Amino acid sequence: MGHSIAKVCVLGAGTMGAGIAAQVANAGVPVLLLDRTTDGPDRSIIARSALERLGKAEPAAFMSKAAARLVEVGNFDDDLGRVAECDWVIEAIVEKIEAKHALYARLEDVRRAGTAVSSNTSTIPLERLIEGRSEAFAQDFLITHFFNPPRYMRLIEVVSGARSNPDLVAAVSAFADQRLGKSVVACKDRPGFIANRVGTFWLQSAVNAAFDLGLSVEDADAIAGKPMGVPKTGIFGLVDLVGLDLMPYLKASLTASLPKDDPYQAIARDEPLILKMIADGYTGRKGKGGFYRIN
């Protein structure tokens, strides 16, 4: 029997989670968007303000006011039980395996068996994500790797594991294709899948070269812009879009999972300036700005 997707839950309302929620709502499908709980009168302020930030940064993220109304916000403590209302749960929290493991353990208790659960991880292999999970969870689990910004990037990488239920994978892939307008690429469960295996290497090499050559941000982006095919942002604009704080996690995750003699190991590094910017809150477009100011 086909698995129909009438309601979606997105866990994590960051750069990606908020954008994915908007994109699902644009397809006319109701979304529950949850993030961490805060003390104070609005315990769901993280998810709520993520949508406000998205609206400011990308006024066209929602296609209409009606679409925006399809997203309901909440928090992991008061609302996680409501994943039982949803047919597809998309996890888009921080790229740290311990955090994802902890959230999946909580999900086991509240979700409906047979509901698709997918991670938006950029680099963590599927089999590692489901370590410690039940057989039922493993069967319902897959990776759906959206690209940033979700409204405009057509590609989605879908990774299924040895135990993933092929009917669920097919249903999620069909939804991504037909309702979200994505080009679905089925990937093997390898570190970084396809796009980030290449893309992270490329981005890290470009950032290293800019620092080693002492290029200004403007010069580096002028070269990496139109001439090298990253027309809108250049390298540092792309780092701002991705989020500076994601860079060390991507590096840590890839260096841990790739073979010791992989060429990426030789170029992977944490740039001290980037670490300082993260510590000072300059995480890019989602923070106080990054290499470029935000208005």
23 lies in the binding site for ligand NAD (CB under 6 A): no
Rg of the chain (C-alpha set) = 19
Binding to ligand NAD (CB under 6 A): which residues in 82-141? 92-95, 99, 103, 120-122
Whole-angstrom distance, CA of residue 262 vs CA of residue 197: 11
Q: Looking at 14, 125, 234, 290, which residue binds ligand NAD (CB under 6 A)? A: 14
Binding footprint of ligand NAD, residue count (CB under 6 A): 25
CB of 285 to ligand NAD, least distance (A): 10
Whole-angstrom distance, CA of residue 30 vs CA of residue 293: 34
Q: Looking at 3, 133, 251, 286, which residue binds ligand NAD (CB under 6 A)? A: 286
Whole-angstrom distance, CA of residue 108 vs CA of residue 160: 19
**Catalytic residue set:** 145
Contacts with 228 (C-beta within 8 Å, 6 or more apart), sequence order: none
CB of 121 to ligand NAD, least distance (A): 4
195 lies in the binding site for ligand NAD (CB under 6 A): no
36 lies in the binding site for ligand NAD (CB under 6 A): yes
From 8-16, 23-31, 211-219, 287-295, give the range in contact with ligand NAD by CB under 6 A: 8-16
Whole-angstrom distance, CA of residue 232 vs CA of residue 58: 15
Letter string b/e over residues 132-170, b meaning 16 or more CB atoms within 10 A of that residue's CB? ebeeebbbbbbbbbbbbbbbeeeebbbbbbebbbeebbe
- Residues near ligand NAD (CB under 6 A): 12-17, 35-36, 46, 92-95, 99, 103, 120-122, 146-148, 242-243, 246, 286
